[in-house]
Amino acid sequence: MQKSQPASHRLTKFGLLLSVSTATRTYAFCVQPSKQNPYSPIRITTNSKRPQPYGNLISTLTPIMNKIKKDAGMTERVLTKLRNSELFITYRDAFLKATGLPLSLEKADDNGWRPCCGTENSNAFCQLLNGGENPCSMCSMACHDLAHHAENHLASVRCFAGLNESAVPIRCGAQTVAFLSTGQIFHEKPKKKNFTSLRPTLKAEGRRELQLARLEKAYLDGTVVSLEQYRGITTLLAAFSMQLSALGSRLVLEEENEPMPVRMAKQFINLHLEDKITLEEVADHCSVSTFYFCKLFKTTTGMTLTEYVNRRRIESAKRLLLQPGTRVTRVAYDVGYQSLSQFNRSFLKYAGCSPTVFRDRERKGEGLLLAA
């Protein structure tokens, strides 16, 4: 029997795309959920010519579906806190006034987003196209492409009308939870002949003559930003995204209105982070049984105790790594890890890169432009 490697997955509007690799080939599956139970697969298609055992697939898919459900809830909570954070509000207001461009913080998903519609400084042409119930299909496609290309780094796209849009990812560890988006600008002054070439496409989208007249005026009045100036703006955006990502990673560990045992546990962990921390020890400190504590902690935080401790240790390690002359080995032991290899694995899992790469990147100034 072929030994399968860990499955990779991607959730799209068509279903769950799953890839499972064996020693000889890779199988691709598409799982389409039922309307009654979104996490119960009812139809599976595969690129394999041989039927795959349904029971084996379900055992593979179940933990993946559970993880997706858990991550979705955590992403929603973190995104709400980021949007309401003083850091984001202060930067957004300064960005809007300094550049005159729109800025939006959008949830990362495979459907993209409606391009800065309704936000301050939004391009009037984009608002007219996307302000109704039926947004422009070509704008939606451009945003979908932008979300795909900006999964790991700053990316820009040019839409069918010649407007430029950029996005940079907000990441909590190795997971992209949101995008910072700006743009809707020309690099050169638009001309009447440019809009004339767009007329057939806009008519095919169902735009009438009165709408076309309004669209033409908004198009010709569009904001123009030179390529060099726009590169400077997006560089600032990328620098800020690093700080927002750091804040997001901390917010994952914080919840408001938590039960007393959970708050006591977090306080205990913070005081003993460099020590070996056991479930029995924490539950005893909170004066509850281990069974009750495990259930309460997981329900409240969305994490097991072990995951929470590791996340907290990695956040502490990030700060220590930025201190001059500090060795990675020393940091690993200072935050409670018993071996360097264990520390490196946890750092990669929760920070998305190795400790050395993280320190080198931060010391080069990528993300230190603004203080969180």
Domains and their CATH numbers in the chain: 8-71 (no CATH), 85-251 (3.30.450), 260-363 (1.10.10.60)
Kindly state the average pLDDT of the residues 307-323. 91
- The answer to whether the beta carbons of residues 261 and 299 sit under 8 Å apart is no
Mean pLDDT of the chain: 78
pLDDT at 151: 81
Q: Answer yes or no: pTM beyond 0.75.
A: no
Kindly state the average pLDDT of the residues 25-46. 45
pLDDT at 344: 93
pLDDT at 245: 86
Kindly state the average pLDDT of the residues 216-223. 93
Residue 273 scores a pLDDT above 70: yes
Higher pLDDT, 369 or 28: 28
* pLDDT cut 70: percent of the chain above it: 73
In three-state form (DSSP H/G/I as H, E/B as E, the rest C), the secondary structure along 196-226 is HHHHHHHHHCCCCHHHHHHHHHHHHCCCECC
- The answer to whether the beta carbons of residues 298 and 333 sit under 8 Å apart is no
pLDDT at 330: 93
Task: Give the CA angle between residues 291, 295, 297 to the nearest 5°.
Answer: 115
Residue 107 scores a pLDDT above 80: yes
pLDDT at 62: 55
Tell me the backbone φ, ψ of residue 316, rounded to 5 degrees: -65, -40
Kindly state the average pLDDT of the residues 109-120. 58
Residue 313 scores a pLDDT above 60: yes
pLDDT at 33: 46
- Mean pLDDT is lowest, of 87-91, 247-251, 295-299, 365-369, for 365-369
The rounded Cα 47 to chain-centroid distance in angstroms is 29
Dihedral angle of Cα 33, 34, 38, 43, to the nearest 10 degrees:
-20
pLDDT at 3: 43
Residue 239 scores a pLDDT above 70: yes
Task: Give the CA angle between residues 315, 167, 191 to the nearest 5°.
Answer: 160
Residue 225 scores a pLDDT above 90: yes
* pLDDT cut 90: percent of the chain above it: 33
Residue 150: partners with Cβ closer than 8 Å, 6 or more residues away: 166, 167, 168, 169, 179
Kindly state the average pLDDT of the residues 86-110. 86
pLDDT at 258: 81
pLDDT at 162: 92
- The answer to whether the beta carbons of residues 269 and 308 sit under 8 Å apart is yes
**Cross-strand partners of 16:** 11, 31
Residue listed under structure tokens 């199988």: 27
pLDDT at 242: 85
pLDDT at 152: 80
pLDDT at 243: 87
Q: Describe the crossing of helices 305-321 and 260-271 by its angle, rounded to 10 degrees.
A: 40
Tell me the backbone φ, ψ of residue 26, rounded to 5 degrees: -115, 130
pLDDT at 52: 47
In three-state form (DSSP H/G/I as H, E/B as E, the rest C), the secondary structure along the chain is CCCCCCCEEEEECCEEEEEEECCCCEEEEEEEECCCCCCCEEEEEECCCCCCCHHHHHHHHHHHHHHHHHHHHHHHHHHHHHHHCHHHHHHHHHHHHHHCCCCEEEECCCCCCCCCCCCCCCCHHHHHHHCCCCCCHHHHHHHHHHHHHCCCCCEEEECCCCCEEEEEEEEECCEEEEEEEEEEEECCCCCHHHHHHHHHHHHHCCCCHHHHHHHHHHHHCCCECCHHHHHHHHHHHHHHHHHHHHHHHHHCCCCCCCCHHHHHHHHHHHHCCCCCCCHHHHHHHCCCCHHHHHHHHHHHHCCCHHHHHHHHHHHHHHHHHCCCCCCHHHHHHHCCCCCHHHHHHHHHHHHCCCHHHHHHHHHCCCCCCCCC
Of the pLDDT bands very low, low, confident and very high (cuts 50, 70, 90), residue 178 is confident
Of the pLDDT bands very low, low, confident and very high (cuts 50, 70, 90), residue 142 is confident
- Mean pLDDT is lowest, of 239-243, 249-253, 346-350, for 249-253
pLDDT at 18: 53
pLDDT at 292: 93
Of 295, 296, 211, 308, the closest CA to residue 261 belongs to: 296
